[in-house]
Structure formats: C-alpha cells, structure tokens
Amino acid sequence: MSSPQDVLDRYREMTGQSVVLSDAIARHAGLSPADLEVLGTIQQRGPLSAGQLIQVTGLSAAAVTGLIDRLEHAGVARRRVDAADRRRVLVEVSSGIDRIAKLYGSLEEDTLRVLARRSDEELSVIADFLHDMNELGVKHVAGLTASARELER
C-alpha cells in the first residue's frame, strides 16, 4: 500500500520530469514550454476563445494574448472568427502543428503501452486523479496570477 505522501512524492517526480520533457520538446519546436502546453490544450479541446484559455490555464488575459500571438507567429495556431458569434474570436491549431506532433509520436506510443497494462478500474482512478491534479494546478496558477496583479497595484 502506498501512503498519500508516497503518491505525492511520485507525483512530484512525474511533474518535475514532465517540465524537463516539455522544455526539451518546446526548445526543439522553437516554443516556450508554456506555449507548447497551451497549444496542446487547444489541440485536445478544439478551438477555444481567449476567455476559455484564461479559464483552463489560470493565466492572465495579457499572458494569453501574448501566448496566442507567439503561437500564430510560430505557425502552429491561428485566430478565426466564431461562426456562431461573429464578435468572438477562436484560436485553433494550424497545419504547422504537424511538426510538433511528430515530436510526441514515440512518447505517446510508449505511454499507451504502459496504460495497456492497467485495468479499466485502474485507468478510471488514474484519469480521475490526473483530472483533479490539473484542476488544482489551474486553481493555483489563477491564484498566483491574482496575487501578482495585487502586487502591481
């Protein structure tokens, strides 16, 4: 049996390695790690508005605007008018993302092999845990963003 501290220790190891891996892939792709991760969010969730990106990342409006500009400049995302509400702009991936997707090919294959060893019940627990940890991370980024705004005043 693992204790909560054991899980926290493994989680910290995993997230630390994830940062190192994200940095290596981002450098190879000519992006920052944050840009790369938000691009992944856009790819997974589909076109998102700047407001939705703020919500799912916890970043400030200014940070999201700059991030979108950098992704467009890198040729991996583009802005488009929302057909349902022409006042709203959505950000979606563009064909330039193919060069970045190639960098993840073997990592995704290896990950799927590891996950294939788990039962449906284990996968459900893992998915729930990762979802909860992501939500916790967004909450803390938003808190840090709000604190930084307060300090600027």
Exposure of 87 in the CB half-sphere (CA atoms within 13 A): 1
Looking at the domain 34-152, which fold is it? Answer: Arc Repressor Mutant, subunit A (1.10.10)
Q: Where in the chain are the domains?
A: 34-152
Quickly tell me which residue has 């990106």 as its tokens. Answer: 53
Give 32-70 pLDDT, tens digit per residue: 999 999 999 999 999 999 999 999 998 999 999 999 999
Residue 149 pLDDT level (bands cut at 50, 70, 90):
confident
Q: For the purposes of burial, counting CB atoms within 10 Å of the CB of 56, is it exposed (0-12), middle (13-18) or buried (19 or more)? A: middle
Which has the closest alpha carbon to 20: 139, 12, 136, 142? Answer: 12
| Between 14 and 152, the higher pLDDT residue | 14
- What is the distance between the alpha carbons of residues 99 and 148, in angstroms, rounded to a whole number? 35
**Quick one: pLDDT at residue 8?**
94
Q: Beta 48-49 vs 77-81: how paired, if at all?
A: unpaired
Give 101-133 pLDDT, tens digit per residue: 998 999 999 999 999 999 999 999 999 999 999
Is this prediction's pTM over 0.95?
no
List the structure tokens of 142: 């938003």
